[in-house]
Structure 1
């Protein structure tokens, strides 16, 4: 009897799945996977230009440890740009404290961020990348604040900050 209850409980727990990515923004955009980006470089060229951490996040889609980014608590006005190519991605006025340990924004600079669907952890998530060089930035979730309801959860190492007025 104990084993039956345990098996049912395990089956229920493993069958549950989050739905934060089960919405329109997570539509399969597999055409992005094969897209030729404006900035094309070999792996060796990227490796020579980027730090090890930048290379693994931007080119290998790794994730930096939470609460390690120097940009996490940045409150200055300016623009967050792609660390690989300098493309403007997010404005400081759209940044908010999500409590997740990664810089978070509720809105991207339109046209400069591309989207793909990834299943790397077993369920559908919307991956974000630089629309110019294809560098992996992070993921977007539909649990953010108004006015968009989005939380662009971005690896700080994928960003550089350009201070502005």
Structure 2
């Protein structure tokens, strides 16, 4: 289980190697994604809070990167954070998500990106529920539900 100290170490010292890499040109990404998906995932945008019903849905399943289909989060790790964005306590695998220092908007944060294609997902914070204490705060448009679990 990842803890905040692990996240900080990844952001400072480098992320785990992804299982694979997906690289596309800006034109290729634009052809594959909606305008909003492109703005969020490729240009580090943020969707409006509470703009998606994904926040309030807790049905079983797996969430993948909308850009490259890499499995990112299991719905069993999802919780209601009250922030207006889907929130998770852990990634599906340690190397699914990468962590980058983010000093934009006058804040110091840790950005989360898909470790396979570098799609911007959102940010991570140390104010989630125990035992990890982590809150992976993701843009719903950066995710897609790909698998139901039984």
Instruction: Please classify the TM superposition score into its range, dividing by the shorter chain length.
Output: 0.7 to 0.9
Instruction: Note the C-alpha offset of 1:113.
Output: 0.6
Residue of structure 2 in register with 1:97 after alignment = 80
Instruction: Note the C-alpha offset of 1:31.
Output: 5.6
- Alpha-carbon distance between aligned partners in 2 of 1:52 and 1:128, rounded to the nearest angstrom: 20
Q: How does 1:15-94 map to 2 (within 5 A)?
A: 24=5, 25-27=7-9, 28-29=11-12, 38-94=21-77
Larger Rg: 1
Q: Please provide the CA RMSD for this pair.
A: 1.8
- Alpha-carbon distance between aligned partners in 2 of 1:70 and 1:46, rounded to the nearest angstrom: 25
Instruction: Note the C-alpha offset of 1:98.
Output: 0.3
- Alpha-carbon distance between aligned partners in 1 of 2:21 and 2:36, rounded to the nearest angstrom: 23
Instruction: Note the C-alpha offset of 1:109.
Output: 1.6
Instruction: Note the C-alpha offset of 1:30.
Output: 7.5
TM-score, with structure 2 as normaliser: 0.87
Q: Is the 8 A contact 1:106 1:152 kept in 2?
A: yes
Secondary structure in structure 2 of the residue aligned to 1:99: coil
1:164 to 2:135 alignment: no
Q: Which runs of 4+ in 1 moved over 4 A?
A: none
- Alpha-carbon distance between aligned partners in 2 of 1:45 and 1:127, rounded to the nearest angstrom: 24
Unmatched runs of 5 consecutive residues or more in structure 2: none
Instruction: Note the C-alpha offset of 1:146.
Output: 1.0
1:122 to 2:106 alignment: yes
- Alpha-carbon distance between aligned partners in 2 of 1:127 and 1:133, rounded to the nearest angstrom: 14
Deviations 1:34-72 (A, max 9, x none): xxx710100000001000110000000000000011311
Instruction: Note the C-alpha offset of 1:75.
Output: 1.6
Residue of structure 2 aligned with 1:146, choices 130, 136, 143: 130
Q: How many residues align?
A: 140
- Alpha-carbon distance between aligned partners in 2 of 1:157 and 1:57, rounded to the nearest angstrom: 7
